[in-house]
Amino acid sequence: MTLRTVNAPRIASLVPSLTELLVALGLGTHLVARTGFCIHPREALRSVPKVGGTKDVNLVKLKALQPTHVLVNVDENRLDTVNALRAWGAQAPEIVVTHPGGPEDNLALVAQMLNHFGDLPGVAERATALIAALTHELAATQPAGRAPQQVLYLIWHGPWMTVARDTYISRMLERIHWQTLPEVQGGQSGAARYPVVRGDEPWLADVQQVLLSSEPCSFTEAHIDEARALCPNAKVQRVDGELLSWYGPRAVPGLRYLRELAAASDNR
């Protein structure tokens, strides 16, 4: 791998998972901007300026911070934001586009950060340690030997919204042989990756577990009752959305969390 030389990068991260990854790699002191959703690790980010949300970036404020690199994600950020950054001309930063499609892609994601920033002190050592931890957890979290479960992973209410099978979340769940419904592919980007559930779909009767993600929607007890009515044959439970959807260093405890969910289900 050829590492690029970066003397003093000024990094803006527009993705919460990537912000956490940068800090884990020792790059927190190079962060000059983050979104309001970039909250982990809290102490390390306290003094890093916020530039709006993942979908509504304050480009004027971001430009004033003079980033040399801006980290984005295909799912999290809008294409028009990326195009606006490219239109800055001589002031345009290097745009680092990420798109992990499943937990195994975390290895390539860390390598991507290493390629951009690996010559900075301590980054290569931290990246190597993180890759080792991810490799261990991936090997320990396999679907083999587990009975398949049909699950509905809900991320929103009003309307209900779920995940297509080619999303990071769905592929995380597949590591324990939990197969998300509906059985659809959402494509590389766009709304089809997060289908709306109307409530009259025949496959809802086949759902064995309904998982209510802790983010981005704050589900209440009333939502749990509605989910039970939506899938009368299913067990309904809240799950940690950060552990199941954030890539980077959070995937290490995320994979362990998956195994805990599987074990709890097996013991019912």
Q: What mean pLDDT is reported for the chain?
A: 95
Give the separation between CA 234 and CA 211, rounded to whole angstroms.
10
Torsion (CA) 43, 62, 122, 44 in degrees, nearest 10: 0
Establish how many alpha carbons lie within 13 A of residue 85's alpha carbon, considering only the half-sphere containing its beta carbon: 25
Residue 2 has pLDDT above 60, yes or no: no
Q: Tell whether the model's pLDDT for residue 3 goes beyond 70.
A: no
Question: Dihedral sign, CA of 102, 57, 213, 154?
Answer: negative
Query: Which of 5-9, 101-105, 171-175, 205-209 has the least mean pLDDT?
Result: 5-9
Per-residue model confidence (pLDDT) at position 122: 97
Nearest CA among 27, 75, 84 for reference residue 51: 84
Q: What is the mean pLDDT of residues 5-17?
A: 87
Measuring CA to CA, how many Å separate 51 from each of 54, 59, 190, 234? 9, 8, 23, 41
Q: What is the pLDDT of residue 165?
A: 97
Examine the pLDDT at 104 and tell me if it is beyond 90: yes
Domains of the chain and CATH, by start: 11-139 (3.40.50.1980), 149-266 (3.40.50.1980)
- The mean pLDDT of 68-81, rounded to a whole number, is 96
- pLDDT value of residue 6: 52
Query: pLDDT grade, residue 265 (50/70/90)?
Result: confident
Residue-level pLDDT at 145: 85
The yes-or-no verdict on residue 45 having pLDDT over 50 is: yes
Q: Is the pLDDT of residue 136 over 50?
A: yes
Local structure of residue 204 (DSSP, 8 states)? G
Q: Both ends of the chain: CA-CA distance in Å?
A: 47
Could you read off the pLDDT of 212-245 as tens digits, one per residue?
999 999 899 999 999 999 999 999 999 999 999 9
